[in-house]
Structure 1
């Protein structure tokens, strides 16, 4: 494409007020003249040193992929080069150095040996390909680990007796407004456990099996919880009665 054709493309892509800013430029001018004028009117006013300082403070955000962080660095570094903050020949080395400094995934940096490549840094295309390949390798390994260790499987169900004991323990910490109902639930659960223990003892009257011993222990725990709940009820009723009497 000729310079005249490129200039015509630039002019056709502009709308007011950008067209007003280039009215005095000759239609035969080079495309670089138009680009410099537009950059002076609408571009950043920060010089190369300020943009370089901002680039050096650009770090990886929370939950940002390393490849996305690298793309963000590339955009910021391009502005630094345009403003003369660094030479074009130092672009790849500066990009790699800042990526190793600001990326929090040390495992990826170590696997790709990026810190050893600063003397002969790869181009942006080569670097982003290496990082995306490392990300995919890490994600695949993490999925295999989860599948092998069964981390995706639901936790096993809580045994019936243990669930009942935990439920009754939670009922014992209920609010005063629910105490009457909770006591009834405690009694009901206690009766069910005692009935189950009686059935097991009838089935094996001469032997003391581990299941019957654990059931007896749970029964004692339920009785203690019931007694504690009743004591707490009586104490709170006494306090409430005294408060009403003073009023």
Structure 2
């Protein structure tokens, strides 16, 4: 039977099927009220891992989650990401891993989320223009100071993961991965070997008519939706897989979380596995 929980860093237990908050509207008005409802409903349905980032509205997404959920229930983990900042006269968002920027974004996140410690902090991207030792050294210092519990990475290669682990204990990796896009399969394998949580972003993706037909066929067989099949496949794919599907609608949220109850047979999983194989 597939486990429904995972311990990030070996000790931080979360439900494997989480929620990505990126799509929640933050502007004042009815859309924001709906976003607050979605976030609260996620927790009502047992979500214990919510993903956000400084990039999402320059911290507005973090503020939204705090407004919706603070004071937080026991066991809820809100993970955020730092390392992307507005730059230049046009204030365009760019990767920025300078120590002062990382430290400032963590301090802002602590304030916006209304917490004294971020249990899981992820580096949104590795900055190629800043020494890796300086980027991870800053996050390590913040952990020593008690402001960060565990350190993760996002969009990294196996080589970058190996290099990072020379400086810090890496608790999680957040890379793009889904049923039809498995470019980062080697990274997933490396995470499995090391017991590192793998948080696939964009966990559900549209495919060609042929792949859609096969996914739809499996969905019909198990009495589920194609989206639920895609998420169920991820949960079956690896014990370190922690999908974080995002939505701004309660009905989609409920559909996503119900994927945990979808049982795929070995034959059905094999059929889905083959969708990625070259023609």
TM-score band, normalised by shorter chain: under 0.3
Higher strand share: 2
Instruction: Report which of the two structures shows the higher radius of gyration computed on alpha carbons.
Output: 1
Higher helix share: 1
Higher RCO, 1 vs 2 (CA within 8 Å, ≥6 residues apart): 2
